[in-house]
Amino acid sequence: MTVAPLALLLCSFLPADAPAEAPEVSFDRWQSNIAKFESSVKKLGERDRELYAAGGPPEGAVLLAGSSSVRLWMEGDVEEDMAPIPVVARGYGGARYSDFAYFAERLFAPHLTPGEPGAHVAAIALFVANDITGAAKAKPTDQTPEGAAKYVRHIVATAHEMDADVPVVLISVTPTPSRWKAWPRINAFNEAMKQIAAEDDKVYYLDATEAYLNEDGTPNAELFRSDMLHQNDAGYAIWAEQLKAGLKPILNAKK
């Protein structure tokens, strides 16, 4: 399903008969990233243990997981910005879907696995933005849009193997000034995520692209920090508005 925030658009598709099996993916190429991020994922697990030891998240909470844009918001005002929707933010800097897929079961387990202490989250929202970077020509470490999409499918299948009913929201990769030359490939990846959502009634694609563009179709630099990659407070305010508008009907449908 596609969720267009603000001017909300929900497209209906035939329900899936059963959760899709996780596609075969290889992690061999990404072992250096996996090793590099092990300590970050371990720290997120420690946060989860503390959260559930204290009683867990509020009912109806959304697990917002992903890369540095989530991590920086996690260290800032995400709970206040996303109110009244409660969120559990879990991000690590530099994340790619190719390593997030490796860690997905560990990242989801405290929130989805039956028998774990605390309440299950009502939905998962994912934002990962580093599989495709740089200039117009792909770097050797870049994924193709199709290659990255395989890891997204693997992550979605992992979530649904743990909880077949949990909605998974795929958030569009933001158009940024620092990666604008790579936008055709990044946008192709966004379209691939949109297609994944079209194939599964438990998966949604939230397109927040337009909110970050000027009238001439270029990224609005006023919404980003000096690195022209990560959002500033103004950017997060827009993101919060977009996410809340997109998540509200998904969460209401679960009640």
Strand partners, 219: 213
Is there a cis peptide before residue 84, judged by omega within 30 degrees of 0? yes
The total of structural domains in the chain comes to: 1
Per the confidence metrics, is the pTM higher than 0.85?
yes
What average pLDDT score do residues 143-171 get?
95
Query: For residue 28, what are the contacts with CB-CB under 8 A and spacing of at least 6?
Result: none
What average pLDDT score do residues 215-241 get?
97
Q: According to the model, what pLDDT value does residue 114 have?
A: 64
Q: Are 124 and 159 in contact (CB under 8 A)?
A: yes
Secondary structure letter of residue 199 according to DSSP: T
Residue whose structure tokens are 């390593």? 99
- Residue 40 CA: distances (Å) to CA of 72, 108, 150: 13, 15, 23
Alpha helices in 27-178 (DSSP H): 31-53, 68-74, 78-82, 97-112, 145-162
Does position 139 have pLDDT exceeding 70, yes or no?
yes
Q: Name the pLDDT band for 24 (thresholds 50, 70, 90).
A: confident
Domain ranges, residue 116: 2-254
CATH code, 125: 3.40.50.1110
- Alpha-carbon distance 246 to 249, whole Å? 7
Q: According to the model, what pLDDT value does residue 102 have?
A: 97
